[in-house]
Chain A
């Protein structure tokens, strides 16, 4: 048995509410971190995972205080140390890697200087030794040409590179414990896979203990040895990663795993009902009682204790865990009928180009085209009635840009968008008639931003009803109640404000608002990425049901390939504003032909420690698309030379219905893929 580096004993952290009631955020946490192991802390937002990670370095957010227990780092209680004593430990013995490195790095200081500062504060190296160490550290985090890199400013690096610099800074003090707070959440799929790979190697090479806080079970599965699952401020399950992810014996973890969309499964994942109780609103019994399928009367009154099961090396907080052991881990999922889509075109994007560049007055006068390399170029997509087409790609791929131009929020530079076979949609919102505007509705990523915080649900939903149908009085009210019913919410939600709703409920209101216009097409912009996993499944399920009921067409934009697979009929893969591959999603996922699709799908992290991501290409980030040639030439692992650099690749149509844009033949690509 390895020695413990950190022991947390019966820790509770809470705050005092305005009415003077004491409310706990963390409740009776007891666990320990062993030397050299990587522990994952998982939970949904509000589960207290970040508070726990911060307490591990002796930091408690303003307004919170420890109500009981202690947090021992090498038998020293961090929570009773003063700032001076903590300074000795932080950076030197415990280091932290923040979620958003772009914001954690000082923007006006060079990378090298920032790392040097960390070295100066946390080590006893001399000046020349520090210089050498900077290069070593940058090498260690696999940043190319460290000497040049050290002279750059944070904004000159990509998100992945910034995260690597943050890792280098954390490693500067040679810490024994590394705390990582969602270190890959804001990164693109391919970058994320690379950063995780790096972290894993660092843990192996240096023997540093790591605590990895994340909501993403896919990332946890890749890096962690042991997992702690948190729910409503408690540890509900703790054990080795394989046991937790493959045989979850707590109903919450079981449900959570089932609600994650996976590449290996067809159709929509099961959703979990309800949402996590708010701090201060936890009943007398088990905190998961309301949402549990395995609960009985005992759970309602008694709080289960964390029970250690030696044969599984797992601790679980549930009375009925033995029932779950017997359930096979075999996951059955609802069959998503991929019904045949009849060719009945509703939206036609022809040669669409969109540019963000603004023409200067003189250029405008001379009628000169200034931007020869627009952000989005040559987009040809036909969308049929009743189908769900997904646009996927990493950040900067232009997927949201295309969505905005369909909605009329951005003007197209070239090409046209045709609606319902004959109606040409104007690029200018003001020139579209009310009927066209009604037919196309948008749902946004973050309901906190898309719902007016000063409006009640009733006011929010009445906007489109008043505008398009002129409803008033009791008619308006009954329509709103009907809409709420449609999105599985009761009419009593009408008088509530968005801040009184949970994340999932808010997104349902946003969905209801879009459907209020009785649209033909709904544009979904990353609609589930701001939501917790268990809620995401429910929203996807709702969208699917509404579509089946009303025959709406969805244009679904997402960076999450597993979500796209679950919901879409057809997929269009975009890179740098250019189409790479388009085809029925079943085929695209099964036989990704285009090299970029292959890279993208290979990098998806599955919540299974036995499925490793395939890292084919480098995770370089390109600022803008190349002027000529194939858009993916900069990163393509199968590049064949000058042809790719100079000529725009032609469309090829495979026998399975996928169309790709590549110079290499589809058959040839298949052979190459099977070789590696």
Chain B
């Protein structure tokens, strides 16, 4: 019996233990801890805010127009006399939900198509990648505006549309990650045994590129959040009176010189969430051993 006293006599960890392990590693560095803290704060806020919002977010009261922050209205009121604090804590809900599901769609189609292209190579890969390149060359905001103006701004339109446009980049990353493992002998071995492409993707490639794709997805989430807020800012995201940071900034920006509070609160909300996701994604990458500085996304 060879080397029965191996130092690695640890029991294999359950997947839950592995996830906890990764989170502990992420939180052990200051940047990761801050990022995680901000992200968790935002998620909890988004889930629980309807229960403790002090006012009705759509209650218009002209007599309370543009009040400065006070003990009654912590963040002041906006041009229609609505409470800015209420609207700010509720303003992340739509954005978070839409972009979260959008990112999952982006990850799924982008990741799988990228892996498939990386695996089959040849002419199919060439054709698909040129199509992806063509889509990459279209400014996403123009394309989004077109889709939204044709199909409307409902959630059912926004989630797949955002998911599609942010998945293009993931195709490239997933394909590059696949190319790293495709030349390894365990893939050749699986091919020689006669496994189907699907089985090779699922069993051999996916476990090895999963980490890279997940990290990429986390980064895309923060970009998508910014993109979604931009759409709202332009008036193509959610429809009033739903509270949304992009929309709030858009509405209050003209009054910024004398009613700064109506702009500052949603800006802080949006930027802190994006920073939080970014820091978390970076810490996640480091905890998985992926160096984002050397493997820049395409």
Chain A residue with minimal CB distance to B191? A429
Stretch of B1-9, B95-103, B244-252 at the chain-chain interface:
B1-9
Residues of chain B within 8 A (CB-CB) of A437 are: 192-194
List the B side residues contacting A505 at CB < 8 Å: 2-3
Contact with A along B274-288 (1 / 0, CB 8 A): 000000000000000
Q: Which A residues are in CB contact (< 8 Å) with B12?
A: 456, 495-497
User: Residue A407 at the B interface, CB < 8 A?
Assistant: yes
- In the complex, what residues of A have CB within 8 A of residue B2's CB? 273-275, 488-489, 502, 504-505, 508, 538
Are B3 and A274 in contact, CB atoms less than 8 angstroms apart? yes
The bracket for how many chain B residues form the interface is 20 to 34
Q: Contact: A449 with B184, CB < 8 Å?
A: yes
Asked whether B208 lies within 8 Å of A409 as measured between CB atoms, the reply is no
Tell me the A458-493 residues at the B interface (CB within 8 Å).
459, 463-464, 467-468, 488-490
* Contact across chains for B203 and A432 when beta carbons are under 8 A apart: no
Contacting residues, chain A, for B3 (C-beta < 8 A) = 274-275, 502, 505
Taking the complex as formed, is B207 at the interface, i.e. its CB lies under 8 A from any CB of chain A?
Answer: yes
Q: Min CB distance, B89 to chain A, in Å?
A: 41
A487 closest partner in B (C-beta)? B2
Is B5 a contact partner of A449 (Cβ separation < 8 A)?
A: no
Cβ contacts B184-201/A at 8 Å (1 or 0 each): 111011111111000100
Residue B294 is within 8 A (CB to CB) of chain A in the complex: no
| Most chain A CB neighbours (cut-off 10 Å) among B2, B6, B11, B208 | B2
Instruction: Identify which of residues 417-475 in chain A touch chain B, using a CB-to-CB cut-off of 8 Å.
Output: 429, 432, 434, 437-438, 441-442, 444-446, 449-456, 459, 463-464, 467-468
How far apart are B28's CB and chain A's nearest CB, in angstroms?
Answer: 11
**Interface status of B204 (Cβ within 8 A of chain A):** yes
Which residues of chain A are near B6, meaning CB under 8 Å? 500-502
* A281/B7 contact (C-beta < 8 A), A274-B2, A449-B184 known: yes
Contact (Cβ within 8 A) B11 A495:
yes
* Chain A contacts for B190, CB-based, 8 A: 463
A284 within 8 Å of B (CB atoms):
no
A446 and B185 within 8 A (CB): yes
CB distance from A468 to the nearest CB of B (A): 8
Q: Which of A409, A451, A452 contacts B191 (CB 8 A)?
A: A409
Considering only residues 554-578 of chain A, those with a C-beta below 8 Å from chain B are: none
A450-B185, A452-B207, A463-B203 in contact; A490/B194 too (CB < 8 A)? Answer: no
Choice from B4, B195, B208 contacting A467 with Cβ under 8 Å: B195
A467–B195 alpha-carbon span in the complex (Å): 7
- Whether a CB of chain B sits under 8 angstroms from the CB of A76 is no
Q: How far is the CA of A437 from the CA of B12 in the complex (A)?
A: 33
Q: Which residues of B contact A490 (CB under 8 A)?
A: 1, 4
Known: A450-B185, A450-B186, A452-B208. A432 touches B194 (CB 8 A): yes
B185 touches A488 (CB 8 A): no
Q: How far is the CB of A660 from chain B (nearest CB, A)?
A: 32
Report which of B4, B8, B189, B192 forms a contact with A429, defined as CB distance below 8 A.
Answer: B192
Who on chain B is nearest to A451 by CB?
Answer: B186
A517 at the interface (CB under 8 A from B): yes
A408 to chain B, nearest CB (A): 7
Within 8 Å CB of A444, what residues of B?
185, 188-189
6 contacts between A and B (CB under 8 A): A278-B7, A437-B192, A437-B194, A444-B185, A444-B189, A453-B208
The 9 closest A-B pairs by CB, nearest first: A454-B207, A450-B185, A500-B8, A437-B194, A444-B185, A449-B185, A281-B7, A495-B12, A452-B186
A-contacting residues of B (Cβ < 8 Å)? 1-8, 11-12, 184-186, 188-195, 199, 203-204, 207-208
Known: A409-B188, A429-B192, A452-B203. 5 other contacts (CB 8 A): A278-B7, A429-B191, A450-B188, A452-B204, A500-B6
